[in-house]
Amino acid sequence: MRSSFWVWLLPTLLCLGIMSLVATVRARSGQRSPIPRAVAVGASAFPLRIERAHARTQTLARRPERVFLANATVVDIASELISADRVVALPEQALTWSRLVDVDDGFRAKARFRSVDSEQVLAFAPDLILCSSFNQKFAGDWVEASGIPMVSLPHPRSIDELREIIRLLGTVLDAETSAGLLDDELGRRIDAIGRAGGARRGLGVLVYSNVGAGGYTPGRGTLADDMIRTLGMRNVAADLGKRDYEECTFEDIIVGAPDFIVVPGRYGEQELSTRDLLLDEPALAEVTAVARRQIVRLHPRLFSTGSHEIVEAAEQIAAFVDARIAEEARAK
């Protein structure tokens, strides 16, 4: 992990992931994320009709047993709902960009791929493809021609949409009990974050990433924005009038004057980090978050997540902010 290859690759992956997400969300600006619907054809769980906006309806004839997971987000959710023996392959990036960083449950031993193409997918002979809208570009006419059902998940714009996606996958994967348990757990954790958030109210937070290709931040109408509101805090990017995922300049940071900034943490190598960039920039020296070093570092899997791992991100931010508030109270 300390080789020059990874020093280059990991920040590049973060940058490309953010840029891809930016393009996808902007393309749908002002629209509600088109979450597919799963409708039982008869009285039993299967066959199941998958209804997608602007796409042909597909039928899942039986419970899927060879599921192809196309990215880290679907790995996050699917690995909570089904056992590894029902997964045929998952992306190499899932080992560093999903919950598999901390857990295994047999998933780390599954066949892995570095990039997605039609020949590779077909070689795994899946009976279901789970992917996200931002990497759906690989799925052209060959998917329909193959007859393999595919469920493409949008990047959720809110925690409620995220929970809807979890329930959808519970139905598609015949794992409704597991999905219900996960949804209930998320509800309890979200409520706990909100109940403890009184002292955070009015404080401004900026979620920001800059790995050398310019800064980006999530504004209004994003999952991160909803997470910030769950914390009881203000999204500085939204205050600046930003929507979706937009560029964020140093001038924006100065004008927004965040009390806290959330950035992706280091990977263990010595590459340029967003935190270093902020602390080394003289123009930002008087911004509260920088001057007081109130910069929250999240593991990149949490910083860029589009899954329920956003709740863990919120918990880590809350712990950091609450600790700083307590320190200030003791110092008075």
What does the block give as tokens for 238? 């939204």
Per-residue model confidence (pLDDT) at position 10: 42
**How far lies 184's CA from each of 80, 105, 168, 275, 313, in Å?**
13, 21, 15, 35, 18
Cα(94)–Cα(320) distance, rounded to whole angstroms? 26
Helix (H) or strand (E) segment spanning residue 218: strand 216-218
Same domain, 215 and 182: no
180 and 251 share one domain: no
Contact 207, 228 (CB under 8 A): yes
- H/E run at residue 204: strand 204-207
Pick the last residue of a domain from 166, 192, 218.
Answer: 192
Q: Is residue 1 part of a domain?
A: no
Question: Are residue 94 and residue 144 in the same domain, yes or no?
Answer: yes
The alpha carbon torsion through 38, 40, 46, 47 (nearest 10 deg) reads: -90
Tell whether 228 is covered by a domain.
yes
User: Residue 210: phi, psi to the nearest 5?
Assistant: -155, 105
Q: Is 173 found in the same domain as 56?
A: yes
Tell whether 72 is covered by a domain. yes
Same-domain pairing of 170 and 237 = no
Domain check: are 92 and 187 in the same one? yes
CATH number of the structural domain spanning residue 317: 3.40.50.1980
Q: Is residue 135 one of the residues assigned to a domain? A: yes
* Contacts of the segment 217-222: beta carbons below 8 A, 24+ positions apart: 217/242, 217/245, 217/246, 217/247, 217/248, 217/252, 218/244, 218/245, 219/243, 219/244, 219/245, 219/246, 220/244, 221/29, 221/157, 222/25, 222/157
The DSSP bridge pattern shows strands 48-51 and 37-40 to be antiparallel
Is the distance from CB of 191 to CB of 314 less than 8 angstroms? no
- Cβ proximity of 64 and 71 under 8 Å: no
Question: For residue 276, is it within any domain?
Answer: yes
Closest CA to 256 of 246, 270, 271: 246
* pLDDT, position 319: 97
Tell whether 22 is covered by a domain.
no
Which three-class secondary structure state does DSSP give residue 290? helix
Q: Report the DSSP beta bridge partners of residue 262.
A: 207, 296
Contacts 24+ apart (CB under 8 A), 48-52: 48/171, 48/172, 50/149, 50/151, 50/172, 52/152
C-alpha distances (whole Å) from 232 to each of 128, 159, 237, 295, 316 are 39, 14, 15, 18, 14
pLDDT value at residue 212: 72
207: CB partners within 8 A, 6+ apart: 217, 218, 224, 228, 235, 237, 261, 262, 303
Same domain, 184 and 50: yes
Token output for 186: 């998320």
Q: How many domains does the chain have?
A: 2
CB 170 within 8 A of CB 130: no
181 with 321, same domain: the answer is no
| Residue finishing a domain among 164, 192, 220 | 192
Host domain of residue 126: 34-192
pLDDT value of residue 138: 59
Name the phi and psi angles at 16, rounded to 5.
Answer: -65, -35
**Boundary-marking domain end, from 169, 192, 215:** 192
Same domain as 285, residue 235: yes
Q: How many other C-beta atoms lie within 10 A of the C-beta of residue 106?
A: 11
Which pairing describes strands 216-218 and 112-113: parallel, antiparallel, or unpaired? unpaired
CA distance 31 to 265: 32
Give yes or no: residues 170 and 294 share one domain. Answer: no
Assess if residue 296 is contained within a domain: yes
131 & 232 share domain: no
What pairs with residue 60 in β-bridges? 48
CA distances in angstroms from 289 to 17, 214, 220, 296, listed in the order given: 25, 19, 21, 10
Q: Decide if 11 is inside a domain.
A: no
pLDDT score recorded for residue 253: 98
Same domain, residue pair 40 and 89: yes
pLDDT tens for each residue of the chain, 332 residues long? 333 333 333 444 444 444 444 444 444 444 555 899 999 888 889 999 998 877 778 899 999 999 999 999 999 999 999 999 999 999 999 998 999 999 988 999 999 998 877 888 889 999 999 998 866 565 556 776 788 898 989 999 999 999 999 999 999 999 999 999 999 999 999 999 999 889 999 999 999 999 777 899 999 999 999 999 999 999 999 999 999 999 999 999 999 999 999 999 865 444 568 999 999 999 999 999 999 999 999 998 999 899 999 999 999 999 999 999 999 999 98
